[in-house]
Amino acid sequence: MSDPEPEMELVHLLRAVAVELGAHSARFAQRNGMHPTDVRALIALMDAARAGEAMTAGRLGGALGLNSAGTTALVDRLERAGHVRRVRDGRDRRRVTVEVDERAVTLGWSHFGPLIGRAVELLRGYDERELAAIRGFLTGVREAAADDGREPHHNEPG
């Protein structure tokens, strides 16, 4: 009576992976005297840097679901630890852009590097059709999870 659908095994596996990745990040946080939110912030900052965009304090807080007070405290914390720098925007001097320090990047790489390397190694073992399946499944799940956040009640017109 428990699992009539064999697909549920993979659903549970994906959930287990998400949990394990969260635990992996939490370990990085604890080992470096940080909080989970701090790690999420650093990742968001590095993602923005990779995309070539500047990250302001406000956008960072928004991405993490923090209000302005929490965001200030977060950036204070990261700055005190030397992981980021506050830089006043020259054009709009109300804005504070948050820049990641190089040492934080190195520190992060030393923790996440091995895991990323293993994942890349695994992916090299698959052919194009298998990679397309992995990519398609992950993309679909990401969209399904994100869709719920947008308009959970009413449909949008075409």
Partner DNA sequence: CGGTATTATCTCGCCCAACGAGATACTTGT
Partner DNA sequence: ACAAGTATCTCGTTGGGCGAGATAATACCG
Q: Does 54 bind a second copy (CB under 8 A)?
A: no
User: Which sign does the torsion angle of CA 52, 30, 110, 136 carry?
Assistant: negative
Q: Does 85 bind DNA (CB under 7 A)?
A: no
The C-alpha atoms of residue 53 and residue 71 are separated, in whole angstroms, by 19
Lookup: tokens for 50: 């990779």
Q: Does 22 bind DNA (CB under 7 A)?
A: no
**Radius of gyration in angstroms for the set of CA atoms belonging to the chain, rounded to a whole number:** 19
Considering only residues 59 to 88 of the shown chain, the ones binding a second copy according to CB under 8 A are 65
Q: How far is the CB of 140 from DNA (least distance, A)?
A: 30
Q: Which of 33, 67, 91, 148 binds a second copy (CB under 8 A)?
A: 148
Closest CA to 41 of 96, 94, 83: 83
Binding site for DNA (CB under 7 A): 35-37, 56-59, 65-77, 86, 91-97
